[in-house]
Amino acid sequence: MSNILVINCGSSSIKYALLLDDHDYRIYGLAENLGTPNARISGITEGQEKFEVELGQADHKQALEVAMERLKKFHFDAIGHRVVHGGEMTEAQLIDQDVIDHIKATSALAPLHNPAHLVGIDATLKMYPDLPQVAVFDTAFHQSMPEKAYHYAIPKKLYEEHGVRRYGFHGTSHAYVSERASTLAGQKNQGGWLVAHLGNGSSTCAIWNGQSLDTSMGLTPLEGLCMGTRSGDVDPSLHHFLATNLGWDLDRIDRMLNRESGLLGISGLSNDMRTLIDASEQGNHDATLAIEVFVYRLAKSLAAMSCALPQIDGLIFTGGIGENSAYIREKVIKSLPHFGFSLDSEKNKTRGQEIRIDAGTGPMIWIIPTDEESRIAQETRQVALNALETA
Ligand code: ADP
In degrees, rounded to 5, the angle at the alpha carbon of residue 174 between the alpha carbons of residues 382 and 253 is 120
Q: Any binding-site annotation on 273?
A: yes
Atom of ligand 1 nearest to the CA of 277: 25
Q: Do domains 4-137 and 186-372 have the same CATH topology?
A: yes
Q: Any binding-site annotation on 35?
A: no
For residue 23, pLDDT over 90 is answered with no
Is residue 198 a contact partner of residue 298, using CB atoms and an 8 Å limit?
yes
Position 315 confidence tier, pLDDT thresholds 50, 70, 90: very high
Ligand 1 mutation pick, 198, 267, 273, 281, max ligand atoms within 8 A of CB: 273
Q: Any binding-site annotation on 165?
A: no
Atom of ligand 1 nearest to the CA of 202: 2
How would DSSP label each residue in 326-367? HHHHHHHHHT-TTS---B-TTGGG--SS-EE-B-SSSSEEEE
Q: If you measure from the C-alpha of residue 198 to the centroid of ligand 1, how many angstroms do you get, rounded to a whole number?
A: 8
Helices and strands (DSSP H and E) totals, the chain? 14, 14
Dump pLDDT digits (tens) for 65-78: 999 998 888 889 99
Dump pLDDT digits (tens) for 142-151: 999 999 999 9
Q: If you measure from the C-alpha of residue 369 to the centroid of ligand 1, how many angstroms do you get, rounded to a whole number?
A: 12
Fold of 186-372: Nucleotidyltransferase; domain 5 (3.30.420)
Ligand 1 mutation pick, 15, 200, 353, max ligand atoms within 8 A of CB: 200
Dump pLDDT digits (tens) for 351-371: 999 999 999 999 999 999 999
Distance CA(29)–CA(55), nearest Å, equals 13
Protein residues whose CB sits closer than 6 Å to any atom of ligand 1: 199-201, 228, 272-274, 277, 319-321, 324-325
For residue 296, pLDDT over 90 is answered with yes
Q: Any binding-site annotation on 372?
A: yes
Dump pLDDT digits (tens) for 207-217: 999 999 999 99
In terms of Cα–Cα distance, which of 143, 11, 21, 34 is closest to 82? Answer: 11
Instruction: State percent of the chain over pLDDT 90.
Output: 87
Q: Domain coordinates of the chain in residue numbers? A: 4-137, 186-372
Position 298 confidence tier, pLDDT thresholds 50, 70, 90: very high
Q: Any binding-site annotation on 388?
A: no
The whole-number pLDDT of residue 72 equals: 85
Q: If you measure from the C-alpha of residue 199 to the centroid of ligand 1, how many angstroms do you get, rounded to a whole number?
A: 5
Strands (E) in the chain, as ranges, are: 4-9, 14-19, 26-32, 40-44, 50-54, 78-83, 93-94, 133-137, 192-198, 202-208, 211-215, 314-318, 355-356, 364-367
For residue 391, pLDDT over 80 is answered with no
For all residues of the chain together, what is the average pLDDT?
95
**Which three-class secondary structure state does DSSP give residue 74?**
coil
Q: If you measure from the C-alpha of residue 200 to the centroid of ligand 1, how many angstroms do you get, rounded to a whole number?
A: 7
Q: Any binding-site annotation on 324?
A: yes
Q: Whose CA is nearest to atom 24 of ligand 1?
A: 325
Distance CA(44)–CA(95), nearest Å, equals 28
Element housing 262 (H / E): helix 262-267
138 is catalytic: yes
Q: If you measure from the C-alpha of residue 291 to the centroid of ligand 1, how many angstroms do you get, rounded to a whole number?
A: 13
In degrees, rounded to 5, the angle at the alpha carbon of residue 217 between the alpha carbons of residues 215 and 223 is 140
Q: If you measure from the C-alpha of residue 8 to the centroid of ligand 1, how many angstroms do you get, rounded to a whole number?
A: 19
The whole-number pLDDT of residue 247 equals: 98
The whole-number pLDDT of residue 1 equals: 62
Dump pLDDT digits (tens) for 120-131: 999 999 999 999
Q: Whose CA is nearest to atom 3 of ligand 1?
A: 200
Atom of ligand 1 nearest to the CA of 228: 14
Dump pLDDT digits (tens) for 87-100: 999 999 999 999 99
Ligand 1 mutation pick, 258, 274, 349, 373, max ligand atoms within 8 A of CB: 274
Distance CA(313)–CA(310), nearest Å, equals 10
Atom of ligand 1 nearest to the CA of 351: 23
Query: Residues 24, 138, 233, 278: which is the catalytic one?
Result: 138
Q: Assign domain 4-137 one CATH number from 3.40.47.10, 3.30.420.40, 3.40.50.450, 3.40.1190.20.
A: 3.30.420.40
The whole-number pLDDT of residue 189 equals: 84
Instruction: State percent of the chain over pLDDT 70.
Output: 100
**Which three-class secondary structure state does DSSP give residue 298?**
helix
Query: What is the mean predicted confidence (pLDDT) over 174-191?
Result: 94
Is residue 210 a contact partner of residue 182, using CB atoms and an 8 Å limit?
yes
Position 10 confidence tier, pLDDT thresholds 50, 70, 90: confident
CA 333 to chain centroid? 22
In terms of Cα–Cα distance, which of 126, 134, 115 is closest to 68? Answer: 126
Distance CA(304)–CA(223), nearest Å, equals 14
Q: If you measure from the C-alpha of residue 327 to the centroid of ligand 1, how many angstroms do you get, rounded to a whole number?
A: 13
Q: Any binding-site annotation on 198?
A: yes
CA 177 to chain centroid? 12
Position 22 confidence tier, pLDDT thresholds 50, 70, 90: confident
